[in-house]
Amino acid sequence: MSPHLLEVFTFRSVGDAIARALRIDPSPECRIVNGRTVLTFRRLGAARWPEAQQMEFALRAAAVARAVLADDQRRQLKRGATRAIVIAFKDAAVVGGCEVTARWECTVPGQR
């Protein structure tokens, strides 16, 4: 059985640039996992938004991410501009004294 290689790189500067373009705070976590860009937005309450609002934001965030990635000088990031981008919302709340975590995830297909 061949071992599975898992490469994970975190790029804070890319997350910060995306947050500035979207005018949100805090910045999303931007990771490249085996060549796929994953943006995780926390503390926006977005995991509980209506689906239409989640999709609109995810598509807008992916478009902004593609522009930021395409403008980056690092080859690894520039390549990510044409590939699928995963947009994830992760929020936590206290319900009845228990921490409840909600996660919503959408994979926006790459451009061909």
Q: What is the DSSP letter of 45?
A: S
Coil, strand or helix at 92 = strand
Q: Per DSSP, what are the bridge partners of residue 94? A: 99
Query: To 5 degrees, how large is the angle CA 65–CA 67–CA 70?
Result: 105
Domain boundaries, the chain: 8-108
Whole-prediction pTM: 0.86
Confidence band of 77 (pLDDT split at 50, 70, 90):
confident
Name the percent of the chain lying above pLDDT 70: 92
Q: Say if residue 87's pLDDT is above 70.
A: yes
Beta-strand pair 29-33/98-108: unpaired
